[in-house]
Structure 1
Amino acid sequence: MRRTVRQSARRRLRFLWFCVLLLTATGARGQTVPDFSSVRSEIRNALVAWDAPSMAVAVAVGGEIVWEEGFGWADRERRIPATEHTMYSLASISKPITATGLMVLVERGLIDLDRPANDYLGPAKIDGRAFDAGRATVRHVASHTAGLPLHYQFFYEDEPYRRPHMDETIRRYANLVTAPDERWNYSNLGYGILDYIIERVSGQSYPDYMRDEVFQPLGLTRTSVGIGRGLEEFTATRYATDQGPIPFYDFDHPGGSAVFSSAHDLVRFGMFHLGHDIGDQRRIISDATIEAMRRPIRESAPGDAYGLGWVMRELPGGLRLQRHGGGMGGVRTELAIAPEENAAIVVLMNSASPLTGYISNLIWHTLYPDAVPKPTPPELPDPHRLEREGILEDAGEGAALIEFTPMPDLVGDWVGEVDTHLGPHRLALAIDDGGRVHAQLGDQLWTLLNNARFDGEYLRGGFKGDIGTGDANRTDYVLSFELRLRGDVLNGSVTAITLPNVRLGNALTHWAELRRRR
């Protein structure tokens, strides 16, 4: 009860503060707007400091867009400035958009969230291996709780590789690495499966369906799956970490990453999910469905919970957000709405910079300073960071061995297989009581498992090896382990993850199971 009273008091204070802000500035068309001048200045300074090409932002409060603006260059080479109408690659913000399209079919009775996802697929099905794939429902897939693995696979237009048919991707990689509803595990592949389900149920291609049933009814004229015909000139170029333009790329999970949109359109999408009836929008799903999408299904990180396409998060000051971010080669994006405050914020960039989260939080702080602490600017990029962090630690490239004291049930020799679409390979682990782990794949040399650690459930680590598939061997990679201890069995995933490069590579996961030798 006390918490409810405190939250009500905070909301009243936020409302009063926003009323004060409304009186501090006047927009070009005469409406009052908050004073975002300090945020503008911070954006301009940050773009220079980070040598970032551009950023576009949009803010809506109370059913009105109160600020939208672009900064920098959408295309540096052609000197095209960014505006609020520039279309940016959204990366994973595609997920709540795809989930919205999915829910249109759910409301029409064409898809049942609680039926197995395999009921809606074609000849290729999700494979359970050690688990019952029939328990992996559409709801599980949409909430990242089906047990599907980490996955991404990119195809650049200046390379000879092209995206396979979705049935082939499912056949190769849709292998459950945990039981349905056992844990939350973020999977782009799951949203690739959802866009394929949308195609099969609707009878339209995923891009056409989303255009006809989501984008056009919501009046999103600069939103498309991929770069829609006639929209090429309005699209921001994606830039790599070396500041060069990235060739256009595709991937085998469009529903998870393929949508392009402007800040103006995306904040209107956020406003729709706040329940606003904007004049040129048609209500494509009901308020009850919108509410169901934001209902937490599973904790996804400390303080975060995932619903259907949305992450729910409460900021330290008590502001509760419904959000999704996106990041991939030349992309970093943020969409967040605060249903209790009737507000939405969009920040889009055409480079992989951490500035989007910082600027988003700075805008929230500007709107509600009593509820959102002023964020600390991110540290400037270190050109040698990738030599010391991230995947390289699992690869053992210059990383120190992390020793651990394993529980007795983990010590010993383990033998089994890692299964690929070309067939299985023998996999062996030797774990001593000092916490040293050695691995052997096939007849390759025994190799130290680098960064080996065990949290009481999962054994993790990585080593360099050849898993023998053409998909993996398109890039240099490390094999990253995540195996769960289940009595005398270790099973889970072995993922071929591309080593850091100017271009984002692949994460291709394979099922593995080993048994301890007595």
Structure 2
Amino acid sequence: MTELRDRIEAARAAYAVPGLSWAIHDDHAVADTGALGVREAGGDSPVTETTRFQACSISKPVAVLGMLRLVDRGLLDLDQDVNERLTSWRIPRNGTWQPVITLRHLASHSAGLTASGFPGYRRTDPLPDPVQILSGAHPANTEGVRVDTMPGVRMRYSGGGMTVMQQLLEDVTGTPFADLMRELVLDPIGMADSDFAQPPPAAVHDRLASGHDAYGRPVEGGWNLYPEQAAAGLWTTPADLCRWALAVRAAYQGAVDAVLSRGLAREMLAPRLPTGKAQTGGLDEIGLGVFLAGRDGQVRFGHSGSNVGFQCHALSYHELGSGAVVMSNSDRGYFAVQRALAAIAERCGWPDYPDDLEEPKQPDRDSVAALAGHYRLHDASALSLRPVEDELAVRFDGQPEMIFGFVGQQDGQLIFASRVIGVRLELELEGTKITVRQDGTTITGTRH
């Protein structure tokens, strides 16, 4: 254990991550936990095994487990048009076409919905309710959720889809989402250090880690708020997320006291569509709420998480019964989390675990600095770019500014990505003219 702790500490220190925590499970229970660093840079409050981190997008598979429990009870149908059950809001028409979206689509990110992710809200901001978020109405800071590709054809990650699911669960049960998740998932599994409440209750603030940017500076107010609870709103610990993984595995094996039927657990962990790009641990297919990889007794499931100031990953081999969760309170935590999981994989003897590790890429600062300015784009929208050390602050018309990290350079294009919402921008500047490529769409513009 000392050697593992030393390797994880070396990774934390190498990437200047203020705090990091992990847990490992065997086939029956949480077998080991560890914590390093501090809750907030410059402070002396240490991270402990019960310090809560933002689960970020790992909120999604936890929420999907709750949804599947309602399917088990007969309150929901995976293949029914969700508009037949939604009462507070409905998925809008796309012109004259009214798409049919099901819970199976939502849980497998194949609904063709917009809104890949959410930037969150400062603690001083007014918070929208889910209907305002789905509609894109004030005070929501993102556009409304709509269908713009054919449902069921391909996997396209959508936090918006999880927010539709959140609203559907509230409409069907009449119960606030955080209370419903406590009843369906957190309490039955024993996740005592977890809560979907947004904002988190003041009584637990002294147990919460503060988020930090890539330069070690604390997030304003300590953390952002995520009223998109199913997509990004869970506060939890690595040990509690291991308990979630063990509960899914027990259901998959048909345990008599499992929280979910064996049939639905097997649907949850059945591969449906390729993702196009593997997550940490080689996860390259999507099931229901979880990402998957492996064959022939080496099947593993899990999910990555990335909110402002937090990075985490959960991974479990459901036939071996071994798995782990690593959580960090830094935008640079991604690289430390990768290395911590690689060290755990080696110690636990995980088969077929990929050994490729990413390094932060350093941009040509002069090239990044040259991008600075305000651009009028050909589609009549506007784009503002502002270099921030090795990163780029990006603001589109009507949207809050977001920080994009440099990920590479190719054929004269500078490539940046947001770890918050899964958007990738390829920027090419020639004189005062800029070309912006995003998800296969190309827009040109001129600095003014």
TM-score range, shorter chain: 0.7 to 0.9
Distance 1:237 1:133 in 2: 43
CA distance in 2, matches of 1:376, 1:477: 26
**Alpha-carbon distance, 1:83 to partner:** 1.9
Residue 201 of structure 1 corresponds to which residue in structure 2? 172
2:196 is the counterpart of 1:225: yes
Q: Which moved more, 1:202-211 or 1:298-307?
A: 298-307
Amino acid in the other structure paired with 2:129: H
Contact 2:22/2:325 (8 A) holds in 1: yes
1:297 positional shift:
1.8
Gaps of 5+ in 1: 1-35, 399-437, 448-463, 479-498, 508-512
CA 89–439 in structure 1, closer or farther in 2 if over 3 Å, else same: closer
Structure 2 alignment gaps of length 5 or more: 137-143, 279-283, 384-393, 405-415, 424-440, 443-448
From 20, 24, 40, the equivalent of 1:75 is: 40
Question: Counterpart in 2 of 1:181?
Answer: 152
1:94/1:477 CA distance change after superposition, 3 Å: closer
Q: Which of 26, 40, 55 pairs up with 2:5?
A: 40
Q: Does the aligned pair in 1 maintain the 2:101–2:111 contact within 8 Å?
A: yes
SS at match of 1:308: coil
Structure 1 CA distance for aligned equivalents of residues 96 and 149 of structure 2: 7
- SS for the counterpart of 1:75 is coil
1:440 aligns with 2:440: no
CA distance in 2: counterparts of 1:142 and 1:356, whole angstroms = 25
Trace 1:106-505 onto structure 2 (pairs within 5 A).
106-129=71-94, 132-149=97-114, 150-158=116-124, 161-172=125-136, 173-226=144-197, 227-228=200-201, 230-246=203-219, 247=221, 248-275=223-250, 283-301=258-276, 304-314=284-294, 319-352=298-331, 353-354=333-334, 355-368=336-349, 371-372=352-353, 375=355, 378-379=358-359, 381=360, 385=363, 397=371, 440-442=378-380, 467=397, 469=398, 472=399, 474-475=400-401
Q: Deviations over 1:399-445 (max 9, x none)?
A: xxxxxxxxxxxxxxxxxxxxxxxxxxxxxxxxxxxxxxx96224x79
Residues 103 and 289 in structure 1, CA contact (< 8 A), matched pair in contact too: yes
C-alpha distance after superposition, 1:454-511 (max 9, x if no partner)? xxxxxxxxxx9964x4xx2x43799xxxxxxxxxxxxxxxxxxxx989x96997xxxx
Q: Which amino acid aligns with 1:264?
A: A
Cα deviation for residue 358 of structure 1 reads 2.5
Please tell me whether the aligned partners of residues 39 and 209 of structure 2 are also in contact (alpha carbons under 8 angstroms): yes
In structure 2, relative to structure 1, the CA distance for the partners of 1:122 and 1:369 (3 Å cut) is closer
Once the 2 structures are TM-superposed, how far is the Cα of residue 276 of structure 1 from its aligned partner? Answer: 7.4
Compute the displacement of 1:188 (Å).
0.7
Matching residue of 1:423 = none
- CA distance change for structure 1 residues 131 and 49 in 2, over 3 Å: closer, same or farther? farther
| Secondary structure, counterpart of 1:156 in structure 2 | coil
Query: How far apart in 2 are the matches of 1:175 and 1:190?
Result: 9
Change beyond 3 A, Cα 1:211–1:267:
same
Are 2:297 and 2:320, in contact at CA under 8 Å, matched by a contact in 1?
A: no
Total equivalences in the alignment: 380
Closer, same or farther: CA 72–295 of 1 in aligned 2, 3 Å? same
| Alpha carbons 1:61, 1:343 under 8 Å: kept | yes
TM-score by length of 2: 0.75
Q: Distance in 2 between matches of 1:132 and 1:54?
A: 49
Q: Could you tell me how far apart the structure 2 residues matched to 1:276 and 1:110 are?
A: 19
Report the secondary structure of 2:13's partner residue.
helix
RMSD (Å) for aligned C-alpha atoms: 3.5
Residue by residue over 1:281-333, the C-alpha shift from the partner in whole angstroms, topping out at 9 and shown as x without a partner, is 96332222222111112111256111111000129x98321010101211111
Structure 1 window deviating more from structure 2 (125-134 vs 294-303): it is 125-134
Cα shift at 1:140: 0.5
Contact in 2 for aligned 1:59/1:65 (Cα 8 Å): yes
1:69 positional shift:
1.0
Whether the 8 Å CA contact 1:74–1:237 is kept in 2: the answer is yes
CA distance in 2, matches of 1:133, 1:368: 50
C-alpha displacement of 1:41? 1.1
| Equivalent position SS for 2:323 | strand
* Other-structure match for 1:405: none
Q: Distance in 1 between matches of 2:25 and 2:208?
A: 23
Cα contact 1:441–1:465 (8 A) shared by 2: no
Distance 1:66 1:174, change over 3 A: same
Q: CA deviation at 1:370?
A: 5.8
CA distance in 2, matches of 1:258, 1:106: 22
Is the 1:131–1:178 Cα contact (8 Å) retained in structure 2?
no
With CA pairs under 8 Å and 6+ residues apart, which has the higher RCO, 1 or 2?
A: 2
Alpha-carbon distance in structure 2 between the residues aligned to 1:168 and 1:181: 26
Query: Among the aligned pairs, what percent are the same residue?
Result: 21
Q: Which deviates more from structure 2 when the two are superposed, residues 94-103 or residues 180-189?
A: 180-189
Task: Quote the offset at 1:136 in angstroms.
Answer: 1.3
Deviations 1:252-284 (A, max 9, x none): 52211000111221111111111079xxx9633
